[in-house]
Each structure stands twice: as C-alpha cells, then as structure tokens.
A and B are shown apart, each in its own frame.
Chain A
Amino acid sequence: DGGITQSPKYLFRKEGQNVTLSCEQNLNHDAMYWYRQDPGQGLRLIYYSQIVNDFQKGDIAEGYSVSREKKESFPLTVTSAQKNPTAFYLCASSMERTASPLHFGNGTRLTVT
C-alpha cells in the first residue's frame, strides 16, 4: 500500500540532545512537508521541499533542520536550539501540481525532558 511512514511513533530525549525524525513516502510525490502540532492547536509549518536537494523554511523553522537527498525521504532534525521541542510532529507529501491535496503520516510524538 502506498503511503507515508513516520517513525518512531513515540520518541523520548533528554534536553540538549539533537534528535532526528524519519519520514518516508512511496507515493512518488515531489513535495514533502513537516508540521508541528501542540495540544489544542492547529498545525504549523516547519519546513517544506518541492524537489530533491531543495527545501524552504516555513513559519517556525528556528531550531530545526532538514535534508532532502532522496525523493522518498525528508528527515527532520530537532536541534538543542529549539526552545520547546515537545510536540506532535507530522510529515506530509503531495504531488507538485495545482491544488493537489496533502497526504499525512500518522505522526511522531516527541517528548523532551
């Protein structure tokens, strides 16, 4: 089945450590995205990539980094510079054409203590 896989579902880290969240898609989509969701709130865009080896900052990119070396993969690193890293992280992908809807993975819940 085609889809977006995020792993792991739950992740725990100590403050001051960098952590990388995985996102893989087999939908042959060109564009990929990372969103963050905090309790009771909507989603906020962290980074997006429309093509391999290129990516753009979203609305809340500070403290995060990404890479897009392969079409299928768009890992997100939460660095120690992110002040409030505990959140639910969602990866999405879409075809790169007008009005194409985003398809989301099931998320990774990161807890930093």
Chain B
Amino acid sequence: DAKTTQPPSMDCAEGRAANLPCNHSTISGNEYVYWYRQIHSQGPQYIIHGLKNNETNEMASLIITEDRKSSTLILPHATLRDTAVYYCIVRGGGATNKLIFGTGTLLAVQP
C-alpha cells in the first residue's frame, strides 16, 4: 500500500473553508484515497473516499489531482466541532481492507 504525507498541523477560522492537503506520489492505479478523522479518545470517523473523480458528500469534498499523486479534503464551513486529527490513507480495492494510518493532520478550528 502506498504511503501518504500530511502536514502535522493546520489552523482554520470558524466558518471558513478548511483545505487539508495530502501527498501520495506512489499511489497505484487501483488504490483509493480515504479520509478519516479522529476526535480525542474516540474511534476514527469515516469521511469520504475516491478513486479518480472528485467526490462530495454531506460532510466534505475530496479533490484528487489528475495524476492522482495528491488530494485535498475540503470542509466547506468549518466549525469548532471539526477540530480533530485528519488521516489521509490510500488502499487497494481488494478484500483485505488493510488501512495503514499515518500520524495525520491536527486541524484546529479557531473561534
């Protein structure tokens, strides 16, 4: 499975869009990009995933570059409750589902 690189921390003002970058330059053609977040002392929460196309759901948007070597998670209107560690993970679509977590980005939403 490919590895990812994320900044260790980011700040965002409440109400503004939070853009979290992720590099995955060794991603393979059949590997998906997943985003999870974890609030302290809770289990990770699934946010969104994609293969090639940009994706949007009720929580966030995922923008994947054309060469698929990087992606950006966008929280359109960040709130204080979005303060968490955000993990970007790449994983093949096979049945094993071995998610390999890095150390993620700590997003601090400021009032």
Contact = CB atoms under 8 A, between A and B. Distances in A.
Interface size class of B (residues with CB under 8 A): 20 to 34
Given A31-B97, A42-B101, A98-B94, A105 B43 contact: yes
Interface residues of A, number: 31
A102 interface: yes
Nearest to B50: A99
A100 interface: yes
Contact of A42 (B43, B51, B87, B97): B87
Contacts, number: 61
Interface in A31-50: 31, 33, 35, 40-45, 48, 50
Nearest to A109: B41
A98 B93 contact: yes
A68 interface: no
Given A42-B87, A42-B102, A90 B43 contact: yes
A102 B36 CA distance: 10
Contact of A104 (B34, B43, B95, B98): B43
Interface of A is mostly: strand
A45 B32 contact: no
Contact of A99 (B43, B93, B103): B93
Q: Which 10 A-B pairs have the closest CB atoms?
A: A42-B101, A104-B43, A43-B101, A98-B93, A101-B46, A99-B93, A106-B43, A104-B44, A42-B102, A99-B32
Interface of A: 4, 6, 31, 33, 35, 40-45, 48, 50, 58, 88, 90, 92, 94, 96-107, 109
Given A35-B101, A44-B101, A45-B99, 4 more contacts: A42-B100, A42-B102, A96-B95, A99-B93
Interface of B: 32, 34, 41-46, 49, 51, 87, 93-104
